[in-house]
Homo-oligomer: A and B are copies of this chain.
């Protein structure tokens, strides 16, 4: 008999500015584990059995919540998009230098967990996934570019940043730096991640 208590995952819940400690619903546990597998091993290298073992339920129970693997991946993607939106709404950056550093820190946090972003993870398997995923991912990436481009644009107008490209293309340059260095620094020296992260700031901030 397994220890059921250990299988329960604790989460914090924020309601009306009060923080509650509570247990995750099964559905949320599944999504959480799926995110970990997708962002470490990739979409085609994890199975319902992997999740099953991790949270102590049978694979058929996972199929109850997510009939197909595609359903699960869609749920993962929408969960991450939603959470990302909420996190950013909470952050109220006083200036665009902080906002840019905050954006980079999002990637630092992922890297520290030896993961890659969900964008990088799903992009790698895009030719094996349903068109639906591609459509959602496309929207998500465009929103990421918009978000970063707005920071760059405001920062430029406030005389904090200087760069040659348009805000959107500069956003693309920075986003691609971060997405790829997350991968590369898992194979080569880890310090390369910090080198790139630092250089992004150096290249763009006015001294």
Contacts and interface: CB of A to CB of B under 8 A. Distances in A.
Interface of A: 40-42, 44-45, 120, 123-128, 134, 137-138, 141-142, 164-165, 169-170, 172-173, 175-181, 183-184, 186-188, 192, 195-196, 199, 202-203
Contact of A187 (B141, B169, B181): B141
A1 to B, nearest CB: 32
A176 B169 contact: no
B196 A172 contact: yes
Q: How many copies altogether?
A: 2
Given A45-B128, A179-B180, A169 B186 contact: no
Contacts of A41: 127-128
20 contacts: A41-B127, A42-B42, A42-B124, A45-B127, A45-B128, A123-B184, A123-B186, A124-B125, A126-B186, A126-B187, A127-B186, A141-B187, A141-B188, A142-B188, A164-B202, A169-B196, A169-B199, A170-B199, A172-B199, A173-B203
